A and B are shown apart, each in its own frame.
Chain A
Amino acid sequence: MSFLQKWKSKLWLAGVLLGALFLGVGAYSGQLENMYRKAIMICLECIGIG
């Protein structure tokens, strides 16, 4: 397996690590709180009323 193929086969892992980093930054800046606050209210737009 060439270096390039080997690197490509591990790209998903880099994506997961980047995702974890983004999630950490988002959680640190309070974005998860905002997401939660929206998710526990009935979204009137989603149900075609708002």
Chain B
Amino acid sequence: MKALLRLSLSKIRLPFQIIYTIITNGYVFGFVQGKIYKGTLKYACVPGLNCYSCPGAVGSCPLGALQAALNQRNVKVPFAVLGFFFIFGSVFGRFVCGWLCPFGPVQDLLHKIPLFRKKKHLPFHGVLKYLKYVVLAGLVIIGSAFLFTGFAKVPAFCKYLCPSGMLFGAIPLVSMNGDLQSRIGGLFFWKLGILLVIILLSIKVYRPFCQYLCPLGAIYGWFNRFSLVQVKWEQDKCTSCMACKRACPVDLCPEEISVSAECIRCGKCVDACPHECIHLGKIRTIR
């Protein structure tokens, strides 16, 4: 009975991510008709990077909502979106990235393709990992508040970088909607190029978008130190065998795991530890 209650996190994570993505993008008519959901559920944000122009999306993208608030003529403090960030961040931290973001399983599945020698990081990782904070400040906040196209402000991250919008929004919408097909231009191919680069990189490097570019990861990483969902490391039980570091897809040491802004709570260290000294919340692992 005790064994039944134990869970192998790495075995349940991918099915969980896929089921969660299907539920939060479950408006099937949208995919069939090339339209988007317009119901009241869109008053609320989902925690992950889920483009609200995805035909199936039943919630709002928190980054899109933040930029929409900053695109207003008179910029005010975006309390509503900050509220969603504080609630999701304080409860989950970057657990959102590991379990509740639709773009995560896409990169996870691509990384399983047996092509190229797998790498945990890009070269210059120590510097490049701060790029997501530059994207957050430069494109999401400053870009959306001050960048104009003609007389209108633009959601700069969504417009110039977001690969999730391209994959989940543009490709299904444009393929079903003739009017949109006739309006495709250079910007569409720029974003398609970014998506293709991230797809190719994901086959070799573990989650390159999450590690280096995602501003949502930068925001939720700040909550990792005190969020409710934690990876706990019991130092007194640890033999420093480093099985957790070898299993960790972002190469964190046991003392870093619980406090690092890079940990996405994937649970691989929990499964790998032979002495059961790492736990995700109260869930224990089976071997």
- The answer on A and B forming one complex is yes
**Measured between alpha carbons, how far is A21 from B82 in the docked complex, in Å?**
10
Considering only residues 154-177 of chain B, those with a C-beta below 8 Å from chain A are 154-155, 158-159, 162, 165-166, 169-170, 173-174
Considering only residues 1-50 of chain A, those with a C-beta below 8 Å from chain B are 8, 11-16, 18-27, 29, 31-32, 34-36, 38-40, 42-43, 45-50
Indicate if the CB atoms of A16 and B90 lie closer than 8 Å: yes
Which residue from chain A places its CB closest to the CB of B158 in the assembled complex?
A46
Count of CB-CB pairs between chains A and B under 8 Å: 155
For A18, what are the chain B residues with a Cβ–Cβ distance below 8 Å?
86, 90
Picked from B72, B83, B91, the residue with its CB within 8 Å of the CB of A21 is B83
For B38, what are the chain A residues with a Cβ–Cβ distance below 8 Å?
40
Indicate if the CB atoms of A35 and B80 lie closer than 8 Å: yes
Q: Does B43 reach chain A (CB closer than 8 Å)?
A: yes
Majority secondary structure of chain B interface residues (helix, strand, loop or mixed): helix
The interface-forming segment of B114-122, B126-134, B220-228 is B220-228
Picked from A12, A40, A48, the residue with its CB within 8 Å of the CB of B190 is A48
Number of interface residues of B (CB under 8 A): 57
The interface-forming segment of B60-68, B248-256, B260-268, B269-277 is B60-68
Indicate if the CB atoms of B80 and A23 lie closer than 8 Å: yes
**Measured between alpha carbons, how far is A29 from B237 in the docked complex, in Å?**
51
Indicate if the CB atoms of A12 and B78 lie closer than 8 Å: no
Q: Does B52 reach chain A (CB closer than 8 Å)?
A: yes
Indicate if the CB atoms of A39 and B85 lie closer than 8 Å: no
**Measured between alpha carbons, how far is A29 from B80 in the docked complex, in Å?**
9
B67 CB, min distance to chain A CBs, angstroms: 9
Picked from A16, A22, A36, A42, the residue with its CB within 8 Å of the CB of B91 is A16
Interface-central residue, A26, A46, A49, by most chain B CB under 10 Å: A46
B59 CB, min distance to chain A CBs, angstroms: 8
Known: A12-B228, A15-B226, A22-B79. A42 touches B174 (CB 8 A): no
Q: Does B69 reach chain A (CB closer than 8 Å)?
A: yes
Which residue from chain A places its CB closest to the CB of B39 in the assembled complex?
A40
The interface-forming segment of B104-112, B180-188, B200-208 is B180-188
**Measured between alpha carbons, how far is A8 from B230 in the docked complex, in Å?**
13
Indicate if the CB atoms of B90 and A12 lie closer than 8 Å: yes
Indicate if the CB atoms of A46 and B155 lie closer than 8 Å: yes
For A49, what are the chain B residues with a Cβ–Cβ distance below 8 Å?
170, 174, 180, 183-185, 187-188
Known: A20-B87, A40-B36, A45-B154. A35 touches B60 (CB 8 A): yes
**Cβ contacts A to B, 9 pairs, < 8 Å:** A12-B91, A27-B80, A36-B60, A38-B64, A42-B180, A46-B51, A48-B187, A48-B192, A49-B188
B residues touching A (Cβ–Cβ < 8 Å)? 36-38, 40, 42-43, 45, 51-53, 60-61, 64-65, 68-69, 72, 76, 78-91, 154-155, 158-159, 162, 165-166, 169-170, 173-174, 180, 183-185, 187-192, 223, 226-228
